[in-house]
Amino acid sequence: MLAGHDWHPEGRDDLVIKKSGDSWLLYDPTRDSRHLLDPTAALVWSFCTGENRVDVIRAKVLGAQEPGDSAEDVQEILDGFQAAGFFVED
């Protein structure tokens, strides 16, 4: 885990997200890279506004998804976003 539960992840403003079939495409113009997000990852991304703590994001995602998604899945997605540099740095 890269950040604690009191972390308020905020996505960078320059990233572009668009629907692509059943998935979402997240484009990073700084790195000219594209990342395909499944519906759960796209939902996690939608809550990364800087206003929600990680535990709130987990609760919102787990309340909206199919059984089988876990808190660990949400944390893995957040950690992946952070490792990819998708968040505003404090």
Tens of pLDDT, residues 13-67: 999 999 988 889 999 999 999 999 998 999 999 999 999 999 999 999 988 766 6
Q: How would you label 74-84 residue by residue, b for 16+ Cβ within 10 Å and e otherwise? A: bbebbeebbee
SS3 state at 87: strand
Q: What are phi and psi of 63, to 5 degrees?
A: -75, -20
Model pTM?
A: 0.87
- When pLDDT is cut at 50, 70 and 90, the band that residue 1 belongs to is very low
